[in-house]
Amino acid sequence: MRTAAPTTSENVPASGSTSRLARTRTRGGVRRPGESHRDRLLPSLLTPDEVAALLRTSKKAIYAMIERAQLPGVVRLGRRVLVREADLLEWLRQNTHAIAGKE
């Protein structure tokens, strides 16, 4: 009898559906399920909904930040607005301040 490999919340979205933000760990870093080597060479772009979920805010707040040029890596393709994931994560790292006494 086969036993299923253990899963972690990192690999399986809570809703049970496939999430664009679901990731798996690899020796070379983090990659999305079904992602090929060629896909890793392209920048990962997030929708305003995904950015809002990542920053735990509303989509309306994200659009306001985009309009005021407060978010890095904004890409406009016609009417579509996307944000480069790497630029957003780097911006978060630079703008995150350690809480005094906790590191």
Least confident of 9-18, 30-39, 55-64: 9-18
Q: Which fold has domain 43-103?
A: Arc Repressor Mutant, subunit A (1.10.10)
Q: Is pLDDT at 76 greater than 90 in this prediction?
A: yes
The reported pLDDT for the residue numbered 17 is 45
Average pLDDT, integer, range 72-96 = 95
Q: Is pLDDT at 93 greater than 90 in this prediction?
A: yes
Higher pLDDT, 53 or 1: 53
d(CA 21, CA 32) in angstroms, rounded, equals 7
What confidence tier does 85 reach under pLDDT thresholds 50, 70, 90?
Answer: very high
Phi and psi based region of residue 91 (left: phi greater than 0; alpha: psi -120 to 50; beta: remaining): alpha
Give the angle subtended at the CA of 93 by the CAs of 88 and 96, to the nearest 5°.
115
Give the residue extent of every domain in the chain.
Answer: 43-103
